Structure 1
Amino acid sequence: MLDQFRPAGAGSQVDFSYFGGAESLLEGKQRSPRRTEVPKPTDKDDGQSYPALPQDPSDFLWLMTEEPHRTRRLEIMKAHPEVTKLMGHEPLTKYVVLAVVALQLGVAIYLRHTRPLSPIFIFLAYTIGGTANHNLFLAIHEITHNLAFRGVNANKALAIFANLPIGVPYSASFKKYHIEHHKHLGEDGIDTDLPSRLELVCLNNVLGKTFFASFQIFFYAIRPGFVRTQTPTIWHLINIVVELTFNVLFAKIFGISSLMYLVLSSFFAGSLHPCAGHFIAEHYLWDGLEQETYSYYGPLNVLAYNVGYHNEHHDFPSVPWTRLPALRALAPEFYDTIPSHPSWPMVIVNFIRDREVGMFARAKRVGKGIKKEEVEEAKVDKSS
């Protein structure tokens, strides 16, 4: 019976000593269909068979290896030196941000006389509001990499503007946490994208995973403060003052319902929303693979600044969203053989119901500390 679970290309025997007891998940049970696919199948991975046995659900996957993106970046730059032509800011970003902010404020004003719990209010907050605010989350993500303008301060100011319809000031703090996520992918105590041990213990079941997927926005908002506090800067203060002032004035002029629409939109944007599948898709481990980053190449990228091209983004954070498809096309021998997700909405469904994936399905490394980088970043903040 174990033949159907054998990694592709494996021999007649499987040495279970490599799998940390996870083979017990297979005893007397049928394994779920494979969740990821390979755009260009290889002898090593045909995109249909399971390439590995399940991960042990009792702990995170602790790795001693270096994060993979730096290595692949160097290999791609050696094979395709013209990749540097794709780097640089994207002028279109500021216009998209302006349009989406205008859309959100327009819908909020339209609903100023509508009861917040009415069907039309909830429907518009989920469909239009959730999609628009999720787009603004990812606009701030894009701007965090200084890809909207050439100057650092102009990017920080645009991020604060994009933050307005979200209701909660977070663009300034997100910048530092996200840059650390790139530089220290998977490092425990530094990468705040990683679930905590408490989350593993409390949420590692169907009910817990449903709760996590429904309230992702709160986990990503609250967890960083417990894992790694930041030293406030002038931009944190500006972000808070601008956002709170906007909220008070907006509610005073257009009514509390309009402000509630914006806040509810942010909740839906980070909850059981089709676009929110990318939060789980990007770095959770799937199919027993020790692969830390997954891409998604489907149509929802149109609404999400191509964040589905996530391997490409981590390999080259200086390539803007409009050129990520070109990056993949430039180096297909690197990207088309990497397992990817076919659907963001199904990622949420599979995350909740699949016993092979859960809060444990993240790769971690022992944090090395970043005191030197903190000093350098403090210098940059003061100079800007």
Structure 2
Amino acid sequence: MTEEPHRSRRMAIMKAHPEVTKLMGYEPLTKYVVLFVVTLQLSAAAALRNTHPLDPRFLLTAYALGGTANHNLFLAIHEITHNLAFPGIAPNKLLAIFANLPIGVPYSAAFKGYHIEHHKFMGQDGVDTDLPTRFELLCLNNVLGKIFFATFQILFYALRPGIVRSQRPTQWHLINLLTQLAFNFLLVHNFGWYSMIYLLASSFFAGSLHPCAGHFIAEHYLWDGMDQETFSYYGVLNWVAYNVGYHNEHHDFPSIPWTRLPALRALAPEFYDTLPAHPSWPMVIVNFIRDPEVGIYARAKRLSKEGKKCE
């Protein structure tokens, strides 16, 4: 029955700390981090071109290095979606398509629309595609179901938006698709299928039982009977995740880039230090699976803009 909390807190912070606007704007460092991680992943893919995908060295590299790197690229695209890498829209979209290359599946253009709706209509069923579907609620609300969800959550986040709310294709969707297909073809042609499998395996691990992947569950699931809809995390994994753990801060001020989110928290401690936060992303996954009080259903839904109750 209440509005999502971020708009009201943003207004309160801007009233108490009008200097917060100085933190807004793009971050030039982002493009260099993206370039480094893309280069790292392509180098690893080339180095493993003659290593069988079932070789322990291949699997360990895909999980530890590739999973962390591609998870970083997921969050680079998240950052770029808010136009925080360049002052113009087109350069941001092109950088997102470039960051998409080691992920193997074109999604950066589609992600932008879905993610902006997640910010504008958080918790509205049928609009916010971050909410689980009724199928997920009915079939995965048990320990085995939660293990399956946590293991394959990257597939849920990839497929759910198109099922719940399809988008109208634009020229950017086409550019994203054609660029990715051309890149995949050249990679396989020059280095073979093992290199392609490495990148796809990296993407799978990045959204599976990986320490960094805990943020997918940590951000908006309800915990311990609290009605707090967004949780932050301030631990060391933020160093490889564009500070996405500062998630209350990000939702309050989506126009503040990742490098300045800690400064936002320091500027307004009276608003953030009192909010419960997760101490560990890996333990979020463990607790999500084992805690009977937390499940797929543990999300907040609210009335739609038309005033009709979300089912």
**Class of the TM-score when normalised by the shorter of the 2 chains:** over 0.9
Identity across matched positions, percent: 76
> Could you tell me which residue of structure 1 aligns to residue 219 of structure 2?
282
Report how far residue 361 of structure 1 moved: 0.3
SS at match of 1:187: coil
> Could you tell me which residue of structure 2 aligns to residue 149 of structure 1?
86
Question: Which of 357, 367, 382 matches 2:304?
Answer: 367
Distance 2:271 2:6 in 1: 11
Q: Return 5+ residue gaps in structure 1 as ranges.
A: 1-63, 370-384
Tell me if the contact between 1:97 and 1:136 (Cα under 8 Å) persists in the aligned partners.
Answer: yes
Question: Which of 203, 214, 239 matches 2:151?
Answer: 214
1:1-384 equivalences in 2 (<5 Å): 64-368=1-305
Which amino acid letter does the alignment assign opposite residue 346 of structure 1?
M
Distance 2:300 2:276 in 1: 16
Distance 2:261 2:305 in 1: 30
Tell me if the contact between 1:189 and 1:367 (Cα under 8 Å) persists in the aligned partners.
Answer: no
Distance 1:166 1:185 in 2: 26
Which amino acid letter does the alignment assign opposite residue 24 of structure 2?
M
Report how far residue 97 of structure 1 moved: 0.1
> What's the CA shift string for 1:155-198, capped at 9, x where partnerless?
00000000000000000000000000000000010000000111
Distance 1:176 1:365 in 2: 20
Report how far residue 366 of structure 1 moved: 3.0
Distance 1:89 1:128 in 2: 28
Distance 2:136 2:275 in 1: 29
Whichever structure has more helix as a proportion of its residues is 2
Report how far residue 367 of structure 1 moved: 2.7
What is the TM-score of this pair, normalised by structure 1?
Answer: 0.79
> Could you tell me which residue of structure 2 aligns to residue 9 of structure 1?
none
Which amino acid letter does the alignment assign opposite residue 195 of structure 1?
P
Q: Which runs of 4+ in 1 moved over 3 A?
A: none
> Could you tell me which residue of structure 2 aligns to residue 39 of structure 1?
none
Distance 1:354 1:174 in 2: 31
Distance 2:162 2:8 in 1: 31
SS at match of 2:298: coil
> Could you tell me which residue of structure 1 aligns to residue 309 of structure 2?
none
SS at match of 1:363: coil
Report how far residue 368 of structure 1 moved: 2.5
Distance 1:118 1:194 in 2: 37
Report how far residue 326 of structure 1 moved: 0.2
> What's the CA shift string for 1:290-312, capped at 9, x where partnerless?
11000000000000000000000
Q: Return 5+ residue gaps in structure 2 as ranges.
A: 307-311
Distance 1:351 1:314 in 2: 23
> What's the CA shift string for 1:35-72, capped at 9, x where partnerless?
xxxxxxxxxxxxxxxxxxxxxxxxxxxxx100000000
Report how far residue 222 of structure 1 moved: 0.4
> What's the CA shift string for 1:187-214, capped at 9, x where partnerless?
0100000001111110000000000000
Distance 2:230 2:246 in 1: 10
Which amino acid letter does the alignment assign opposite residue 206 of structure 2?
A
Tell me if the contact between 1:194 and 1:362 (Cα under 8 Å) persists in the aligned partners.
Answer: yes
- Rg (Cα) greater in structure: 1
> How many residues of Structure 1 are paired with residues of Structure 2 in the alignment?
306
SS at match of 2:261: helix
